[in-house]
Structure 1
C-alpha cells in the first residue's frame, strides 16, 4: 500500500500553511521562507520495509527514515525535536509528531494522481498538493 507514495512529488499548491506554522509556534522569519518554498517530496522504501521521506528545496532538505508503527526521534524543518510515528490508515500515511505536550498530524494520501498532504494542528488545517514528476 505504501508503494503508491513512492516516487518524486513536486509541490504545486499550499493553502493555509502560514496559519499552520503559526499554530506550531514557528517564528516570523522562518514562516516567510516556508511560505515561499516549494519543496519536492521524495518517498522511497527498501526491501526491509524501511521508508524514507525527503523534503528537498533550495532552502533546506530534511529526511526521515522509519518503519510503520514504530516511534522514532525526528528533528523537523523548523527545528522541533519530536517523537514521531507513521501509520497507514485507510490508505493514508499518517505522521503524528509529539513534543512539549503538543501534537500535530500530517495525513498524506494519493488521489487522482496527486499527493495531498493535510497538516493539522488543533483546529488549523493546511493542505499541500503535490504532483508526481515523470
Structure 2
C-alpha cells in the first residue's frame, strides 16, 4: 500500500511554509530556524503500521502510527496534537486536532507524484503550504 513512500527523502523546495507555520501557532524564532533547515524524511511501512522520521541538524522526531488510529503526538515545535493517519487513493492523509483551545487544527496530504517526488501539502484555516522532497 505505501511502498512508494519507503526510504529516505531530501527536501527540495517549500512554498508558503512560513505563513503556514505562523497560522498553526509556531513562534517567530522557531519558524526562522525551521526555514533554514533541510530535513530528511524517512518512511518505513509494515502493513497498516508506519514509522515516519524527520531528521535535521536541530532535531530528530519519529512517529510510529497505525492507519485509522488516533494518537496523541508531540510535534517538532513542541505542540501536543491528536493525529489520525489514513491512506486514501495513494495518499497518506494526516488530520491533526488541537488539544488546547488557543491552537488550531491542521490537515496534511503526502503522496508520490508521477515524477517520483514526495509532495506534502498542508492546510490550516485556509493557509496552504507545499513541500517537495526527492528520493535520497
Q: Pick the TM interval, shorter chain.
A: over 0.9
Structure 1 residue 49: Cα displacement: 3.3
Does 2:125 match 1:126?
no
Shift of 1:129: 0.2
Match 1:107 to one of 82, 106, 109: 109
1:3 Cα deviation from its structure 2 partner: 1.1
Aligned to 2:41: 41
Q: Which residue is 1:74 aligned to?
A: 73
Distance in 2, Cα, partners of 1:45 & 1:123: 31
TM-score scaled by structure 1?
Answer: 0.94
Q: What's the Cα RMSD here?
A: 1.1
Counterpart Cα distance in 2 of 1:84 and 1:21: 17
Deviations 1:6-25 (A, max 9, x none): 11000010111000000011
Aligned partner of 1:62 in structure 2 is 61
Unaligned runs of 5+ in 1: none
What secondary structure is seen at the aligned counterpart in 2 of 1:10? strand
Query: Which 4+ runs in 1 deviate beyond 2 A?
Result: none
